[in-house]
A and B are shown apart, each in its own frame.
Chain A
């Protein structure tokens, strides 16, 4: 059977931008197949914050805080995404609050990883300052 006829969601090709940083967003996405990268651009420098895989979700932050997208998400290879709009999502959560358990679990994991990264950066900066005391 042809997979495209039995694959749910929307298709994105390699390099397709799913959403851009600072754009308005009313949807969250779940990766059914493929990968996506989360990037932030400052000037000419593009930094990859994370690589998302099957089963991961993104775009949920804007659904909760109604703020513009915090980063750009791009397809890495062919990706199939399930899109859930804000109204439907909030309806689901209000009917079954325990639906948010897994999201909270994932978001907690992300905060822990971010904490770890910040700590590593702080240590690296401190070491750098220590090593280059004379210049500082």
Chain B
């Protein structure tokens, strides 16, 4: 294999970033910063057809909108500080709700470190007062905010959809509705997995295969700002209630709305209605509250596998179109892949060999970590389906919250798994602690003993 390609970005080189979501913006920010640092002049254009300042799914990049504590900190170190109104609610607690009770886990860093955000301008059908409360003229879309950061670094943003991509003499050529866009030296596929253009990348014959996906269901339900504060506060609620067909369900507070995120097979509007009617869920909502007939919802595809060969000469795929962490922290994966691609393109080159050597290891790292993620989530699924295990885990976590001196082994594993704060490999290895296993084992015996006692009395 060649050490490096001869494909380097010269002064005045043109980069086309397809997609203005977090991956596209992060790539642009880091590439332009680095280019400036080494005295290279780069002409970078982001092509994004959505206007993130509008409300509703058509102007939104459709996800739960939770930014992990780890990413919040990394962005702050990079100089990208998240503040209201971009941050809709700062989270310091996760509540795990089961049919046998709940447990509240507080952030190990003892600060509000997780941010919940709107990817677009907010849910559709917002009233004028909700849309502008307190921050009438300020933007509140996280994606819009990042695009602004990219523009400040010198990126051009074109409100155009890229319709097709082809290869001509081994060089990528992109086409918008208006026609062919003048030659570019690097095409960055930051289009996610919900855009049609991803099929064009696959058809190029470079070996790129998009990642496997499943569908997620996101709905924004209005309950009013006061209710969000009183009933949900600064906590995300994860429901382990063993609802048929549901792998994961959570409620995330944002402004005067709560976002309901569900994963599973064939989740429909009815599944969401059944979820909202479940006693453990209903208890979290106001007494006289009725499920609204219409609410903002979307069914985006989410990445659950690795893309094959996410690079070629002068082409690199980043974010969801490449590798993403399983179920969690998609924006964090966008950050990692975008940064690795930007560093490669600016410092090493834009050839297949450059991306294979300097960019691909970052994707492989995420993919390898996801193997442990699958084990962790399979284990969580088993807990969700097994009442004794559920009870034991809940009691172990409750004990730790009451007796901090005993250490937060179980709590931090739950916290890191569900917040996406740590790598799955790290969490998996921590789970094999004999003290933790002993604590869970004692709680399992305890749960069995209580059941026997109950049966004996009856």
A interface, by DSSP: helix, strand, loop or mixed? Answer: mixed
Given A1-B88, A6-B88, answer yes or no on A32-B83 (Cβ-Cβ < 8 Å): yes
Find residues 58-110 in chain A having any chain B CB closer than 8 Å to their own CB.
82-85, 88, 92, 96, 98-99, 101-103
CB neighbours (8 Å) of A10 from chain B are 111-112
Given A8-B72, A10-B111, answer yes or no on A32-B85 (Cβ-Cβ < 8 Å): no
* Chain B, Cβ-Cβ closest to A6: B84
The 7 closest A-B pairs by CB, nearest first: A6-B84, A30-B76, A8-B90, A6-B87, A10-B111, A3-B84, A84-B73
Q: Is the CB of A96 within 8 A of B339?
A: yes
Contact of A57 with B by CB under 8 A: yes
Q: Is the CB of A55 within 8 A of B112?
A: no
CB neighbours (8 Å) of B135 from chain A are 1
Our pick among B73, B77, B88, B234 for the contact of A103 (Cβ within 8 Å) is B77
Contact of B74 with A by CB under 8 A: yes
Contact of A7 with B by CB under 8 A: yes
Cross-chain pairs A/B with CB under 8 angstroms, 24 sampled: A1-B225, A2-B229, A5-B89, A5-B90, A6-B84, A6-B90, A6-B255, A7-B90, A8-B82, A8-B90, A9-B111, A9-B112, A30-B73, A30-B76, A32-B82, A32-B83, A55-B79, A57-B77, A82-B73, A84-B76, A92-B73, A99-B74, A99-B77, A102-B77
Given contacts A6-B85, A6-B89, A83-B111, 5 further A-B contacts (CB under 8 A): A1-B133, A8-B113, A9-B90, A57-B76, A98-B343
Our pick among A1, A30, A82, A102 for the contact of B134 (Cβ within 8 Å) is A1
Contact of B115 with A by CB under 8 A: yes
Interface centre among A55, A82, A88, A99 (most CB of B within 10 A): A82
CB neighbours (8 Å) of A99 from chain B are 74, 77-78
Q: How far is the CA of A94 from the CA of B37 in the complex (A)?
A: 22
Contact of A54 with B by CB under 8 A: yes
Q: Is the CB of B229 within 8 A of A5?
A: yes
CB neighbours (8 Å) of B88 from chain A are 1, 6
Q: How far is the CA of A96 from the CA of B37 in the complex (A)?
A: 18
Q: How far is the CA of A95 from the CA of B115 in the complex (A)?
A: 22
CB neighbours (8 Å) of B82 from chain A are 8, 32
Q: How far is the CA of A84 from the CA of B77 in the complex (A)?
A: 10
Contact of B160 with A by CB under 8 A: no
Contact of B109 with A by CB under 8 A: yes
* Chain A, Cβ-Cβ closest to B225: A1
Q: Is the CB of B84 within 8 A of A82?
A: no
Q: How far is the CA of A14 from the CA of B249 in the complex (A)?
A: 42
What 0/1 pattern do residues 48 to 89 of B give for CB contact below 8 A with A?
000000000000000000000010111011110111110111
Q: Is the CB of A85 within 8 A of B134?
A: no
Q: Is the CB of A5 within 8 A of B78?
A: no
Contact of B198 with A by CB under 8 A: no
Q: Is the CB of A30 within 8 A of B113?
A: no
CB neighbours (8 Å) of A101 from chain B are 34, 37
CB neighbours (8 Å) of B336 from chain A are 96
What 0/1 pattern do residues 204 to 231 of B give for CB contact below 8 A with A?
0000000000000000000001000100
CB neighbours (8 Å) of B112 from chain A are 7-10
Interface centre among A8, A9, A33, A96 (most CB of B within 10 A): A8
Our pick among B72, B79, B133, B256 for the contact of A82 (Cβ within 8 Å) is B72
CB neighbours (8 Å) of B73 from chain A are 30, 82, 84, 88, 92
CB neighbours (8 Å) of B76 from chain A are 30, 32, 57, 82, 84
Q: Is the CB of B77 within 8 A of A30?
A: yes
Q: Is the CB of A98 within 8 A of B90?
A: no
Find residues 35-61 in chain A having any chain B CB closer than 8 Å to their own CB.
54-55, 57
A89 to chain B, nearest CB (A): 8
* Chain A, Cβ-Cβ closest to B336: A96
Q: How far is the CA of A32 from the CA of B121 in the complex (A)?
A: 23
Our pick among B78, B81, B109, B229 for the contact of A85 (Cβ within 8 Å) is B109
Q: How far is the CA of A99 from the CA of B336 in the complex (A)?
A: 11
B286 to chain A, nearest CB (A): 18
Q: How far is the CA of A33 from the CA of B225 in the complex (A)?
A: 23
* Chain A, Cβ-Cβ closest to B256: A1
CB neighbours (8 Å) of A57 from chain B are 76-77
What 0/1 pattern do residues 86 to 121 of B give for CB contact below 8 A with A?
011110000000000000000001011101000000
* Chain A, Cβ-Cβ closest to B228: A5
What 0/1 pattern do residues 31 to 48 of B give for CB contact below 8 A with A?
000100100000000000
* Chain B, Cβ-Cβ closest to A31: B81
A30 to chain B, nearest CB (A): 4
What 0/1 pattern do residues 324 to 347 of B give for CB contact below 8 A with A?
000000000000100100010000
Q: How far is the CA of A85 from the CA of B135 in the complex (A)?
A: 32
Q: How far is the CA of A43 from the CA of B73 in the complex (A)?
A: 37
Q: How far is the CA of A54 from the CA of B234 in the complex (A)?
A: 24
What 0/1 pattern do residues 112 to 138 of B give for CB contact below 8 A with A?
110100000000000000000111000
Q: How far is the CA of A35 from the CA of B327 in the complex (A)?
A: 38
CB neighbours (8 Å) of B256 from chain A are 1
A1 to chain B, nearest CB (A): 5
Q: How far is the CA of A102 from the CA of B304 in the complex (A)?
A: 33
Given A1-B255, A83-B111, answer yes or no on A7-B343 (Cβ-Cβ < 8 Å): no
A4 to chain B, nearest CB (A): 9
